[in-house]
Amino acid sequence: DTGVSQDPRHKITKRGQNVTFRCDPISEHNRLYWYRQTLGQGPEFLTYFQNEAQLEKSRLLSDRFSAERPKGSFSTLEIQRTEQGDSAMYLCASSLDLGRNEAFFGQGTRLTVV
């Protein structure tokens, strides 16, 4: 499978715990994007990387959210001190670094905070 891979697919956590999600992009794609999708809504942009550089993080929802892409390949999204409002689907996408190239999305990680 050469698509975008996200792990885990589902995560249930207790409020206050930290969680980390992983995204493996398509191998030749140097751009990687994180989105959040709540039930019944469209995806909401969070942050993106070009190679290992995080080019925008102002849309991260709070300082509890952070993302890394240390070697320009896979990326992690961490949420610290989770809250019930963090329950959502977290989507990762990757693309080549030209605007004309569409993004390919993974199947997402569904987070439930209880």
Partner 1 sequence: AQKVTQAQTEISVVEKEDVTLDCVYETRDTTYYLFWYKQPPSGELVFLIRRNSFDEQNEISGRYSWNFQKSTSSFNFTITASQVVDSAVYFCALSEDRAAGNKLTFGGGTRVLVKP
CA angle 104, 109, 113 (to 5 degrees): 150
Instruction: Write down the least CB distance from residue 16 to partner 1, Å.
Output: 27
Considering the complex, state which of residue 14 and residue 27 has its C-beta at the smaller distance from partner 1: 27
Closest contact distance (angstroms) between CB of 75 and partner 1 is 14
Which residues bind to partner 1, rule: CB under 8 A? 31, 33, 35, 40-45, 48, 55-56, 89, 91, 93, 95, 97-108, 110
Pairing relationship of beta strands 109-113 and 10-13 according to DSSP bridges: parallel
User: In this complex, which beta carbon is closest to partner 1, that of residue 64 or of residue 110?
Assistant: 110
- Encode 30-49: b = buried (16+ Cβ within 10 Å), e = exposed: bbbbbbbeeeeeebeebbbb
CB of 27 to partner 1, least distance (A): 17
CA angle 100, 110, 103 (to 5 degrees): 5
If the CB atoms of residues 26 and 80 are measured against partner 1, the closer one turns out to be 26
